[in-house]
Amino acid sequence: MSNKLRACLLLLTVLFLSGLVMDVSSAGPTKIVFWYSVGGKVAETTRVLVDRFNATHPDVYVDAIYQGSYDDAMNKLKASIQGKSTPNVMQIYEIGSKFMIDSNAIVPVQKYIDKENLDVSSFERNILAYYEINDQLYSMPFNVSTPILYYNKNMFREAGLDPGTPPVTFDDVARYAKILTVRDSAGRVSRPGMALAVYGWFFEQFLATSNLLYANNNNGRDGVATAVAFANPQAASIIDWWVGMVREGVCANLGRKTADTQKAFISGQCAMTIDSTAVLATILSGVDGKFEVGTCYLPRQAGAKGGVIIGGGSLWLLKATSAQEAASWEFIKWMSSPEQQAFWHINTGYFPITKKAYDIPAVKQHQAKYPQFTTAVSQLRDSPITRATQGALLGVFTQAREIVEDAIEQVLAGRATSLEALKKAAQQIDAAIGRYNMTVGR
């Protein structure tokens, strides 16, 4: 060894011992990238949670980056997979689950649940059931919602209806909507009894409450779905009920944007609407005491024994180095803890995924203040776990939902019967499913 090399080694040793050169093991936290797709107040709450995690976990740093809508985020993810530059944790909507699994870019969270023997017995079973495929939990549920019926109790009283007895069946809703509709002296509708957005998610939910499947092979859960299963008279009768109310003038069709029906309900332009449990806080703050808001279970066909499907999104763990995967799991696990879920629920309106969150005093106070939310919790737990209520797994679900919305609008416009429109929609979706399955080698 040369004298120069000896001198360099001696200098490094002195610097290390004096603390001027850090050990490699303390080179800083493991950085992970988190892509999320929620805006407004929900985005603010997301960032607060990320900041709290970073402040309490010095060994991990989460770089949270907003990616726009779920569709935008999905397209960006596809590009990142091709470019081998994926995030470490990804929030994506529930109907993106099939694509995420087929992407071969993710690690099922079940791997780490088993590794740590994590107790998930307190987690809501109906929530876990959506993301459990082949006895594996693929992603961690995060922002979870279901649809419920909202109604104006003041208008119920004015119309002679008991606000404590909301509608249960489709027939009830149609009857109540007719009674609640206000007409002028010429018989023109001045205020419809109901307003309902043309939203494919609602059609999926109405199928589930009737325990009807959306796709074959038991919604793609007992085998890869190769076709949809709703081109039948039973499903068509759901649209007939929907469109029938619109044609009678007792239900307003305000288009596809659910925000428009929310505004109509909040401003007293209708007496009933259907929307996500996640907008309960928005509706209550918008109403601001001008009338009493009631909530009840999603209506169903008479005698139907089904239930609702969860909506919203979940957190996916993507493949990376072992250190990044471990750090990502630590973040996902922390986000699903009772304390964080309680904060998330109170500030966003989404369900806590764990029952333990309801034991936290702040949540108890929140529910006492907003008893309408107990409807959502009860409906979730009362829904049987079946292949219908677990929801369908389709790699082209976003496209399928839009095609169904087109079909409903075709019927509303009188250009097709409900069954004709559903059969045409099925042909389009089946073709898209076939192309997708070929692409992923199924």
User: What does the pLDDT read at residue 26?
Assistant: 52
Residues 414-421 have a mean pLDDT of 98
* CA torsion through residues 238, 219, 67, 442, sign: negative
The beta-strand segments (E) located in 198-344 are: 251-252, 272-276, 293-296, 311-317
User: What does the pLDDT read at residue 340?
Assistant: 97
Residues 29-53 have a mean pLDDT of 93
pLDDT bin (cut points 50, 70, 90) of residue 218 is: very high
Task: Write the CA distances from 313 to 4, 148, 200, integer angstroms.
Answer: 60, 18, 16
Q: Is the pTM here over 0.85, yes or no?
A: yes
**Tens of pLDDT, residues 282-303:** 999 999 999 999 999 999 999 9
**Tens of pLDDT, residues 350-383:** 999 999 999 999 999 999 999 999 999 999 999 9
245: helix, coil or strand?
helix
Which contacts of 127-136 are long-range, i.e. CB under 8 A and separated by 24 or more positions?
127/310, 127/351, 127/353, 127/380, 128/353, 129/385, 129/389, 129/390, 130/94, 130/97, 130/309, 130/310, 130/390, 130/391, 131/94, 131/97, 131/314, 133/97, 133/101, 133/221, 133/393, 136/108, 136/110
Residues 209-238 have a mean pLDDT of 97
Q: What percent of the chain has pLDDT over 70?
A: 94
**Tens of pLDDT, residues 94-117:** 999 999 999 999 999 999 999 999
pLDDT bin (cut points 50, 70, 90) of residue 28 is: confident
**Tens of pLDDT, residues 114-170:** 999 999 999 999 999 999 998 999 999 999 999 999 999 999 999 999 999 999 999
**Segment (H or E) for 429:** helix 418-439
Please tell me the number of Cα atoms within 13 Å of 137 on its side-chain side. 22
Task: Render the burial of 278-288: b for 16+ CB within 10 Å, e for the rest.
Answer: bbbbbbbeebe
Which has the closest alpha carbon to 337: 307, 370, 360, 368?
360
Distance (Å, rounded) from C-alpha 297 to C-alpha 309? 13
pLDDT bin (cut points 50, 70, 90) of residue 2 is: low
Distance (Å, rounded) from C-alpha 285 to C-alpha 347? 13
pLDDT at 36 over 60: yes
**Mean pLDDT, rounded, of the chain:** 92
Q: What percent of the chain has pLDDT over 90?
A: 86
Distance (Å, rounded) from C-alpha 3 to C-alpha 92? 60
User: Which DSSP state fits 169?
Assistant: B
Distance (Å, rounded) from C-alpha 221 to C-alpha 208? 15
User: What does the pLDDT read at residue 11?
Assistant: 47
Distance (Å, rounded) from C-alpha 411 to C-alpha 414? 5
User: What does the pLDDT read at residue 14?
Assistant: 42
Distance (Å, rounded) from C-alpha 63 to C-alpha 357? 26
User: What does the pLDDT read at residue 89?
Assistant: 97
394 CB-near residues (< 8 Å, 6+ apart): 95, 98, 214, 215, 220, 225, 400, 433, 436
